[in-house]
Amino acid sequence: MRPDPGKYNTAAARWAGVGPYYAMFPASFADKVINKYTRRGDSVLDPFAGRGTAVFSAAVRGRTGIGVEINPVGWVYAQAKLRPASKDAVKERFKQLGKVSYRYCRAAERLPRFFRFCYQPNVLHFLMAARSNLKWRTRKTDWTAMAMLLINLHGKRDGSLSNQMRQTKSMSPPYAIRWWRERGLRPPQLDPLEFMLNRLAWRYAKGLPKTSRSRIYLGDSTRVLPQIVRGRSDTHRPARLLVTSPPYLGITNYHYDQWLRLWLLGGPPTSRRSGRLYRGKFEHKERYRALLLNVFRNAKRLLARNAVIYVRTDKRKQTLSMTASVLREVFPSRQLHYRFRPYTRPTQTKLFGHAEPKMGEVDLVVR
């Protein structure tokens, strides 16, 4: 099923939604905050950029967006939105991948059995060709092509390249195989090249978004933000708005949940959780607080004196109180305002057992 075209009648609207991503905040939220607190020409900073929602919103509104994202899946989505290649260039790249996909037959046979349950052989060969040949870190055409593949890598059987699976989260292989077997589900029969060209046609139907010069960095904010501070020029304009949503304490593992998309980007063909610092489930309270403190302290050095700090966080007591205390410590002379945002519909967090009756989010605004 394709999206309702009435909701995507401009290029900016079609490209804003690039990338299913866990715990993303809505584009409408970023639009509202940026319109309220900034003017054209201002800079907007997001140190936990995710799929680049705030950075893209700033860019299409004549602001300069600056973001940092540690997960390459989110970074690829953001790059494709901010600096997309032409439709013809991406179309030609997909055709090139189709021509060489036959070379990956034997390599596909060596993959874990999950992949044979998830994809038809011709689809898997095409994906492996993309995994081996797309230089998504450095080439505009390749990061755009990769973003389109990541979007459609898994989801509903009638709307993606995979067997039936959640679009925002890749499930563990044993669970997925058992689930497919119990329901007799097989991967969809389709031509991957034709499928992707059709998806490309929809994405580009309204053209390319007009964006101002903005940038999203791939890396850890605790390291990248100090580098930005050291490298900025005398003409650099301090950000008038920091708008972000840090990872929530103990909710989910952002890298584990994206393991299949990370595989397509060159990672291992396994769902084993990452134990690397700031890439896990954020269950260690002291480390979580240290992360927030480090990031907001460094971000402060990139802000104008009268900048607004707008942080969307979890309503659960531990996350909320910790985030609020860090903001008070970093901005001791400013006022902290709470704006409670109850959920109006079921959320993905229920999948992980977080279904408390008073669940919701809180916007912490420092002015």
Nearest to 186 by CA among 157, 166, 159, 150: 157
Average pLDDT over residues 281-287: 76
pLDDT of residue 219: 96
75 vs 248, higher pLDDT: 75
Comparing 6 with 208, the larger pLDDT belongs to: 208
Given a cut of 70, whether residue 325 has pLDDT beyond it is: yes
So what CATH class is 21-83+212-247+282-366?
alpha beta
For the chain, domain boundaries: 21-83+212-247+282-366, 87-203
H/E run at residue 307: strand 303-314
Give the pLDDT band of residue 343 (cuts 50, 70, 90). Answer: low
Q: Residue 40: which pLDDT band, with cuts at 50, 70 and 90? A: very high
Lowest mean pLDDT among 96-105, 113-122, 210-219, 276-285: 276-285
pLDDT at 357: 44
Structure confidence at residue 70 (pLDDT):
93
Instruction: Give the list of residues 6+ apart from residue 235 with CB closer than 8 angstroms, or none.
Output: none
- Rounded to whole angstroms, the Cα distance separating 171 from 258 reads 9
Q: Burial, 286: exposed, middle or buried (Cβ in 10 Å; 0-12, 13-18, 19+)?
A: exposed
Query: Quick check: helix, strand or coil at residue 194?
Result: helix
Q: Helix, strand, coil shares of the chain as percentages rounded to 5?
A: 45, 15, 40
Question: pTM for the complete prediction?
Answer: 0.91
- As given in the structure block, the two tokens for residue 308 are 């607004």
Helix (H) / strand (E) containing 30: helix 27-37
Stretch 167-183: mean pLDDT:
95
Give yes or no for residue 359 having a pLDDT over 90.
Answer: no
pLDDT at 349: 47
Per-residue tokens: 135 = 């230089």
Residues 313 and 310: their CA atoms lie apart, in Å, by 10
